[in-house]
Homo-oligomer: A and B are copies of this chain.
Amino acid sequence: MMRIGVIGYGYWGPNVVRNFAELADAEVTVVSDDRPERLSEAQRRYPGIRVTTDALGLIADPAVDAVAIVTPVAFHFELASAALRAGKHVLVEKPIATTSDQASRLVDEAARRRLVLMVDHTFVYTGAVQKMRELVAGGELGDIHYYDSVRINLGLFQHDVDVLWDLAVHDLSIMDFVLAPQPVAVSATGLAHVAGRPKNIAYMTMFFDGPMIAHVHASWLAPVKVRRTLLGGSRRMIVFDDLEASEKIKVYDRGISVDPSPENVYQMLVGYRTGDMWAPKLALTEALQVEAAHFVDCVTRGARPQSDGESGLRVVRLLEAASASMQQHGRPVDIHGVTAA
Contact = CB atoms under 8 A, between A and B. Distances in A.
Given A222-B237, A330-B331, A332-B328, A270 B156 contact: yes
Interface string A176-212: 0000000001010111111111000101010100011
Given A187-B187, A201-B146, A232 B225 contact: no
Interface string A236-274: 011100010111000011111010000001101010101
Given A239-B223, A245-B225, A154 B272 contact: yes
A135 B186 CA distance: 37
A154 B254 contact: yes
B154 A274 contact: yes
Contacts of A191: 146, 211-213
A97 to B, nearest CB: 21
A213 B190 contact: yes
A155 interface: yes
A221 B232 contact: yes
A123 interface: no
Interface stretch (A101-109, A276-284, A295-303): A276-284
B47 A148 contact: no
Contacts of A205: 189, 203, 330
- Assembly stoichiometry (copies): 4
Contacts of A207: 189, 329
Contacts of A189: 187, 205, 207, 213, 215, 330
22 contacts: A145-B201, A145-B221, A146-B191, A146-B219, A146-B221, A148-B222, A154-B255, A157-B256, A189-B215, A196-B268, A197-B265, A203-B205, A220-B256, A223-B230, A223-B252, A243-B245, A247-B277, A276-B280, A277-B279, A330-B331, A330-B332, A331-B331
